[in-house]
Each structure stands twice: as structure tokens, then as C-alpha cells.
Amino acid sequence: MEREELDALLVTHLPNIRYLTGFTGSAALAFITTQQLFLITDSRYAVQAPAEVNAAAEVLIDPVSVWTRLASLLTQHGHGRLGIEAHALTVRDSTRVERDFRGEVVPVVDLVEDLRVVKSADEVDAIRRAAALAQEALAETLPAVRVGSTELAIAAELEGALRRRGSEWHPFPTIVASGPRSALPHARTSSRVLESGDLLLVDFGAQVDGYCSDLTRCYVVGAQADERQRMVYDLVLEAQRRALRHLRAGMTGAEGDALARQVIQRRGFGDAFGHALGHGLGLEVHEAPRLASSSDHPIPAHAVVTVEPGIYLGGWGGVRLEDDLYLGPDGPECLSSPAAELIELT
């Protein structure tokens, strides 16, 4: 706030509010001055909010609307410069703020997100536990995968296993994509029936203490892998292993991305790897930093990122392998058990 010359800051993005206060509810505003942090929520959280927040903030409960209570705070502190989260606040709500605050209202971006990039030991441990839980749930699900299963049925089995093992929620909609649909990097799970010899791509995660894991695995179902399937899989695996071994804090996002991309490009599949190598992981499944050819920002120590190269060939299928990597000061640590050789589910 001092760097941005702010006298106050309004935080509206719920993951940022959780990070600053510990509050896990679905309706809240955080109003921060140079002296105090206020958490504003409604009567549904009259018991929960003080218990979760403790001394991190002064909790204000409004029985009608959080915006009504915020208006009184803005009037009380209505001078100087107020920062609002430009990426999170709607036009309607920013108009409310400008109406009630007598000083200057200025948009700011990523003030809290920049803090969240650097993970504490407890945050890293939560992601590690989320990754372990997710892999246990997948191991429970795989015996039920067979020719004739639908993608939706497999996703239902996996999501049930995640919940039974303690996942608080699914960090994102589970992706189960089979056959030619595995060439869709963000496919929507469908009613397609698995056929013998299909590639099967499963992209899923768990959530523990609010923190997310994000993993992708690929299999061949009902038959032995053919030569092309094995070649593409092994190439993606080689690219991922290179990145997992050599990625370091201090590299730019582009340098990290190149570790895997160069392997795939040298074999002539560069155009088939269209997305970035990875993204930050924490309270949200997609957060800073980015491992992308367009990113010239250094990756800070103690970041957690995904490493997920892929090759996607329209009409045939695709392979993506994804694991979660902690970039500590002493080198990388894979928080998940990394992908290994291709498994045939027969």
C-alpha cells in the first residue's frame, strides 16, 4: 500500500480475503487502512467469521448487506487514495465505492496475489497433501475403468473417491477425455463410451485446507498401446522430466517453458504444444507465476507451479502429463509422485 501510495485498500476477491484473514465464507469484503483490517460479512457468518479470523481482523456483521456496512466505513475513512481490485470488482460495485468514498479511487492489480506467489511451509504442505489425496483417489478409480465405460461415469467415480478421502471440493471440473477427444486440452467430460485402444486423459485435483492440487495422467484402454501412442507419450514424458529436473527459482517463466518446449520442438511437434508449460498453484488452481514463452518475470523462490507439457493431434488424440512442483531455495521438489511409463488399462 505504501508503494502504491494508498491510504486504504478494498479487497473483494474471496481467495485474497481468505489469504489475509482466514475467512472461508462466500460473502465478504476486506477493508484495509494503514492501521487496521476490517472483515465485513453478513449474518450467515456471525459465528463462523470470528472463529476463523481470530485477531487477524475486526469482524463487522451487517444483517442486510455487506455494501451497506462498507458505505459507513468509506464515509468514516473517506479521504486520500483508496485502491480497488480492478480484476475483481464489477463496474456496478466500483460505482458504489466511488459514490461513498470522498477521496480518490484508483484501480490496482495483484497486490495480494503478488504476496501469495511465495508459499509458506504450511501452504506447501497443504498442496503436498492435496496431491497425495488426489493420487490415492485416482488409484481407487482406475480398476473401474474399462471399455464400455463413459467419460462421465469415470469422472463420477473419481470425484466420489476424492470426496471420500477428504477433498474439500474439486478445484476445477474434472476432465475425462477419451479417444480423439483427448486432443482437446480443456475438453468437457462427455457421455462418450470408451473403445478398445483409446487414449484416456484424466485432469483432476483435490483441495486440502483451501489449497489445490492439479494433476493429469494418460492411459491406453482395453488394448496394448500402438507405436504412435507410445512415441507421443514417451516424448511428452521426456519433456516433462527435463522440466521437473531443471526448473529453478530465478528463471523467467519463458526459460522454464523452454525446458520442455525445446524437447518437443526438436522432434517436430512444436505446433502441437499450444499452451504454456504451467501455472502457479495455491488457493486457486490458476494463479501466478506463469511458465509461458511470453513471461519474462523471474520465478520467486518458494513458488509452487504445475509442469504440464502436452501434444495434441486433431482427429487422433492427445497426451498431457502434469505434476506439481515446489521451487525451494535448494532446488525443485515434486509434491506429487511424477508420471511414469505409459500404463495400459486392459
pTM (predicted TM-score): 0.95
**One domain for residues 132 and 86:** no
Q: Which of 62, 95, 116 is the last residue of a domain?
A: 116
Q: Which of 59, 81, 116 is the last residue of a domain?
A: 116
**310 and 175 Cβ atoms separated by less than 8 Å:** no
pLDDT tens column, 229-253: 999 999 999 999 999 999 999 999 9
**One domain for residues 241 and 333:** yes
Cell numbers at 319, concatenated: 497426451
For CA atoms 7, 13, 14, 20, the dihedral sign is negative
Residue 120's nearest CA partner among 286, 302, 248 is: 302
**One domain for residues 21 and 64:** yes
Q: Is residue 1 part of a domain?
A: no
Q: What would the mean pLDDT of 13-22 be, rounded to a whole number?
A: 97
Give residue 93's identity as a one-letter amino acid code. Answer: D
Q: What would the mean pLDDT of 152-165 be, rounded to a whole number?
A: 98
Q: Where are the beta strands (DSSP E) in the chain?
A: 8-11, 29-33, 37-42, 58-62, 81-85, 104-108, 175-178, 198-204, 207-208, 211-212, 215-221, 278-280, 287-291, 303-307, 310-313, 317-320, 323-328, 331-334, 343-345
Side-chain-facing half-sphere of 307: CA atoms under 13 Å: 35
**One domain for residues 47 and 130:** no
pLDDT tens column, 100-113: 999 999 999 999 99
**One domain for residues 273 and 340:** yes
The enclosing domain of 100 has a CATH number of 3.40.350.10
Residue-level pLDDT at 77: 83
Which residues neighbour 320 within 8 Å (Cβ) at sequence distance 6 or greater? Answer: 185, 201, 203, 216, 218, 236, 308, 309, 310, 311, 312
Residue-level pLDDT at 195: 98
Cell numbers at 229, concatenated: 501412442
Q: Which of 79, 98, 116 is the last residue of a domain?
A: 116
Q: Is residue 3 part of a domain?
A: no
Structural domains of the chain, count: 2
Give residue 131's identity as a one-letter amino acid code. Answer: A
Q: What would the mean pLDDT of 39-43 be, rounded to a whole number?
A: 96
**One domain for residues 161 and 220:** yes
Residue-level pLDDT at 54: 93
Residue-level pLDDT at 125: 98
Residue-level pLDDT at 339: 84
**One domain for residues 168 and 251:** yes
**One domain for residues 112 and 127:** no
Q: Is residue 176 part of a domain?
A: yes
**One domain for residues 305 and 157:** yes
- pLDDT mean across residues, the chain: 96
**One domain for residues 68 and 175:** no
* pLDDT at 265 exceeding the cut of 80: yes
Work out the end-to-end distance of the chain between its first and last CA atoms, rounded to an integer number of angstroms: 58
Domain containing 285: what range?
121-345
The enclosing domain of 333 has a CATH number of 3.90.230.10
- Widest pairwise Cα distance in the chain: 70
**One domain for residues 241 and 263:** yes
Q: Is residue 2 part of a domain?
A: no
Residue-level pLDDT at 167: 98
**pLDDT-based confidence at 115, cuts 50/70/90?**
very high
Can you give 248-293 as a three-state secondary structure string? Answer: CCCCEHHHHHHHHHHHHHHCCCHHHCCCCCEEECCCCCCEEEEECC
pLDDT tens column, 180-223: 999 999 999 999 999 999 999 999 999 999 999 999 999 999 99
Cell 487496521 found at: 36
**307 CA to centre of own chain:** 12
Residue-level pLDDT at 78: 73
